[in-house]
Chain A
Amino acid sequence: MSEAKIEIKNLYKVFGDHPSKVIELVQDGISKTDLLEKHGHILGLKDISLKIPNREIQVIMGLSGSGKSTLIRHINRLIEPTAGEIWIDNEDVTAMSQAALRDLRRFKTSMVFQKFALLPHRTVIENVAYGLSMQGVPEAEAHKRAMHWIERVELNGFENNYPGQLSGGMQQRVGLARALATDAEILLMDEAFSALDPLIRTGMQNILLGLQEELHKTIVFITHDLDEALRLGDNIAILRDGEMVQDGSPQDIVMRPADDYVSEFIKDINRGRVIKVGSLADPAASASDGAPIIVADTALETALSTLVAAPGQSCRITKKDGSDLGTLTLERAVAALHAPAG
């Protein structure tokens, strides 16, 4: 894992009239129900700590009401924390003045919203240029740059339409272009694709992955959909009732679910596609001579046919640079395809 771009440290959020009065109770571990019934406050987030690596896609996942939106809005401080800190590039966001915070939002972070949140009275190009005009870029230049991003999300020809004249998928492409146009290093996406039809949604995921391959932004992506999380995420954090239950790579989550909540989440997924052979290699065992070589980040699903055909039904697993990781047997591979007991 590379160095952290965003670091969230012991973040708490309590909703209610006097959060500061009950925060100590929360820090002492009072339950969400007790807090609500005895003290009339809602526990939004509880002791969240998370390092979000630079230039990777961090997915935050959880059921409705688990605090995903609350968490992502703390990163650009659209919501004030009750306790805890958020650091971006070694700067404490929670300590920033209003002016510094505005600069952070103008230059360093940008956001894509579940309900698009476009300006209905402005055309597509004016919407895409919105962040640039907040940065103080002159209009002609802003429109020129906006046009570039409109082309990137394949909306050319629609730049003078109003959002109300576009389909949901097109509107969200405007939302994406608006966020990308500011050249911010951090992209915050709150269920950005959840309101779209499955097919369009897959299309948007492809657009995002394609752009990420060349842009390498730090993306925080919220979803309640595991398939989406596994497709996009370099890392996945799972929230439940405002607490973080697990944080790791997709493989970690699939192979070593932290608890029943996570197991329940992953029970229907195609494990063969998520698990990479690298994580299954057994350094102790030695492969028979002439065993085929498989690169570590090959999906298990793809490796199976090679394994079946291999002499002794085992293969050598190597990293991309050729260094040896160990051996994988068919037996071990098949075992990994089944969920851990329970």
Chain B
Amino acid sequence: MDFFLEFPELGRHTLAAMRKAIDTSFIHFSREYGAALEAFFYPLLQFMIWFEKLLLSTPWPIILLIIGGLAWFGSRSVKITVGSVIAMALIGIFGMWEDTMATLAIVSVATLLCVVIGIPIGIVMARFERAQSVITPILDVMQTIPSFVYLIPVVMLLGIGKVPGLLAVCIYAIPPIVRLTNLGIRLVDRDVLEAADAFGASPRQKLFSVQVPLALPNIFAGVNQTIMMALSMVVIASMIGVRGLGVPVLKAISNQYLSLGLMNGLAIVALAIIFDRVSQTYGQRLQAYRKGFGDE
């Protein structure tokens, strides 16, 4: 009867030995290759440092101007442009300018990295069934595993700092862009593809003249989601040494500073809204050809 009440688990010693074996071998691994990995990521680190410095050393009016310009270029909407500039100005007035620039730096670099890596992966997935069946479960794991769990090996390998923070953000933020690139390409009208074939398009020409352009609205929705997810990782990333709006939030949690937490939290929300509106309206403008007369 006991057999059914207690789960027949492996013995305590066996489990402990197992865990220890895995841990020590990973520690060995990280000792062995940690330095090499760091060297590998060194250019990335330099780039991040350079970009953050650039944002911080540029006079604030110019940054405001650039943000307004980007918002206008993306959305072509006065409301969104003015709203973005006002939100950024408020952030500055309430003393969060520097942290915001740091956050902007990591989110931009992370998004860039996700786009550069994620879109090609999505294209490969759309092209080969096998790639899709292998990569989809990996993406599922990346999206559902609690971030703290993969922070452990990342920190063990690379220690604390910008690069591990960036990796953690990317692991969390890359799945949507991969998925939506894959989906977007698969949803391209078969008739149009057949027409491209009939005019002698090579697979490569088909990819760049038909599949990617027609998948762009979906790819763009992926970029939008990736940005949002990168922003939502800001607080967790600050736990492993990434500067930015996450740091004061962490301090506020441990010291119960309500207003500090709220203000920095709201700044993150403001950034999220700006990114979201601008990238969404830009995505919609990409599809203008789908509409009739009178639209741009």
Contact = CB atoms under 8 A, between A and B. Distances in A.
A178 B290 CA distance: 20
A9 interface: no
State which size class the interface on A falls in.
20 to 34
A105 B192 contact: no
Contacts of A110: 198-199
B290 A134 contact: no
B199 A130 contact: yes
Interface stretch (B12-20, B43-51, B200-208): B200-208
A203 to B, nearest CB: 22
A63 B118 CA distance: 47
Given A78-B194, A113-B194, A119-B210, A134 B289 contact: no
State which size class the interface on B falls in.
20 to 34
B192 A117 contact: yes
B291 A164 contact: yes
B198 A105 contact: yes
Interface string B82-124: 0000000000000000000000000000000000000000000
B197 interface: yes
Interface in A115-148: 115, 117-121, 130-131, 133-135
Interface string A147-159: 0000000000000
Which among A102, A103, A110, A182 has the highest number of chain B CB atoms within 10 Å? A102
Contacts of A113: 191, 194-195
A119 B192 contact: yes
B191 A117 contact: yes
B195 A111 contact: yes
29 contacts: A78-B194, A102-B200, A102-B201, A102-B202, A103-B200, A104-B200, A105-B197, A105-B198, A105-B199, A106-B200, A107-B200, A110-B198, A111-B199, A113-B191, A117-B191, A117-B195, A119-B196, A120-B192, A120-B214, A120-B289, A120-B290, A130-B196, A130-B209, A131-B200, A133-B209, A162-B289, A164-B292, A165-B292, A178-B199
Given A106-B199, A121-B213, A165-B292, 11 more contacts: A78-B197, A78-B198, A103-B200, A113-B195, A117-B194, A117-B195, A119-B209, A120-B214, A130-B196, A164-B290, A164-B291
Interface of B: 189, 191-192, 194-202, 205, 209-210, 213-214, 289-293
